[in-house]
Amino acid sequence: MSPVTEQWEEVLSTRFALGGKHPAVRAVAAFSTESGFFAAAGPEDGRQHFRSAAGQGDRQPASDAADAPDQAEMSALWTAGEEAGRPRTLRLAGAVWHREELDRITDAVTGTELDLALLRDGNRIMWVVRTGQGICVFVLVDGDDEGHAAEARSLALDFDSFLVGQGY
């Protein structure tokens, strides 16, 4: 396990421990376009929500995962326009996530430009933040409650700032 993975999992696990019995966030993961998911955490097994790209307990991307996001799918997620009326989608752990929002924001702490997307799968939502270095932070919300969504959005931006502070 890489030092970055160990540090990420420790920080994420601590955040969940502080969240109490019913945290708003179900799972968080860090993703690199070069190496796939490299860290995940959650109140239970956070990796299960990203297993199609991470494999069964493996920290490396599964090369034969049929529904793992590929480079084209990840790139399309960040494209502003819609093609032929079809919304942007991303497949994770057997679920198809539809992009509902895409915003370009400036991180208040680091001053870096970030892409922030809100994805939906039925009554579940997920925030995804992308930095300029091809690193993304995925934050899966427990349900679609507005308060939970706001907390998850904040957490996504916090962890993105953490990664930027680590040199990513």
pLDDT per residue as tens digits for the range 109-119: 778 888 999 99
Strand, coil or helix: what is 116?
Answer: strand
Token reading at 107: 């991180």
Q: Return the pLDDT at 58.
A: 42
The Cα 62–Cα 78 span in angstroms is 23
Report the alpha-carbon distance of residue 159 to residue 139 in Å, rounded: 10
> Measured between alpha carbons, how far is 78 from 115 in angstroms, rounded to an integer?
7
Count of CB atoms within 10 A of residue 25's CB? 25
Among 136, 120, 129, which Cα is nearest to 31's? 136
Give residue 62's pLDDT. 41
The per-residue pLDDT for range 62-97, each reduced to its tens digit, is 433 444 577 777 888 888 766 655 668 888 888 889
Q: How many residues does the chain have?
A: 168
Cα separation, 161 vs 149, in Å, equals 18
What is the helix (H) or strand (E) element at residue 75, kind and residue range?
helix 71-77
pLDDT in the model for residue 57: 39
- Quote the tokens at residue 4: 């970055």
Predicted structure pTM score: 0.78
CATH 3.30.450.30, domain 3-165, yes or no: yes
Edge to edge, what strands does the sheet with 124-130 contain? 36-41, 25-32, 135-141, 124-130, 113-121, 95-106, 89-92
Mean pLDDT by 10 residues, the chain (168 residues): 64 65 76 78 77 45 49 80 69 88 85 89 90 82 80 82 74
Q: Where are the domains of the chain?
A: 3-165
**DSSP string computed for 129-163:** EE-TTSEEEEEEESS--HHHHHHHHHHHHHHHHHH
